[in-house]
Structure 1
Amino acid sequence: MTSLAALKSKLLTDPAVKAEYDRLGPIFSVVSEMVEARQTAGLTQAEIARRMGTTQSVVGRLESGRHMPSFDMVSRYAAALDRRIDIHLVPRHSADVALAGSPI
């Protein structure tokens, strides 16, 4: 049986797959944080929906990771959890990290 990590490594050798994986990474990161925060709070999708003034199906779609949620929806979701959004722009590549702190 192939492990998930081995399968991922193999698939990411294909440039088209790697490009799509990189494109979707931020979406999965945001969605993962949202779901983790909801679960940590011990709330269901229906409870979050009520707090947001929407339906459970909207929350389900937000948490599916199929589309990048709007900033407004992520903000409403965070507020429903009594949380705030904290965004950071970071260098894309590790070489950029070394250069970011270096004087020119």
Structure 2
Amino acid sequence: MTERPSLKEMRAKALKNPEVKAEYDALASAFEMKRQMIALRKAAGLTQEEMAEKLGTKRSNISRLESMSASNSPSIATIENYARVLGYSLRVGFEPAAAR
């Protein structure tokens, strides 16, 4: 019986493909922002339901906001409100694109 590759091994193999790597890199900042949002919410001891209540919205909207598979991007105002409820402010900046 063949051992299944780990997620880390599958990721390393996939990232050897230049097209996959380019897409992965393009999504890196959005993924990191959403990872931070979830971590901050959990550190505050809030469920998605509780976060939704504080923001005056539904839990499904918080789920969509924190999801990488959402088809639309949240507005900066929405992210600012999310941060504010958790006692944070949003900082946005620009970086030079990596040489291709």
Q: In the alignment, is residue 33 of structure 1 matched against residue 36 of structure 2? A: yes
For 1:16, the aligned partner's letter is E
SS at match of 1:69: coil
Displacement of 1:15:
1.4
**What's the TM-score once normalised by structure 1's chain length?**
0.78
Displacement of 1:74:
0.8
Report what 2:10 is aligned to: 7
Query: Can you give the 5+ residue segments of structure 1 that lack an aligned partner in the other structure?
Result: 96-104
Q: In the alignment, is residue 69 of structure 1 matched against residue 74 of structure 2? A: yes
SS at match of 2:74: coil
SS at match of 2:65: helix
Report what 1:81 is aligned to: 86
SS at match of 2:29: helix
Q: In the alignment, is residue 55 of structure 1 matched against residue 94 of structure 2? A: no
**What's the TM-score once normalised by structure 2's chain length?**
0.81
Q: Decide which structure has greater helix share.
A: 1
Distance in 1, Cα, partners of 2:26 & 2:93: 17
- Equivalent pairs, count: 94
Distance in 1, Cα, partners of 2:66 & 2:17: 27
**Equivalent in 19, 23, 29 of residue 20 of structure 1:** 23
RMSD: 1.7
Displacement of 1:86:
2.5
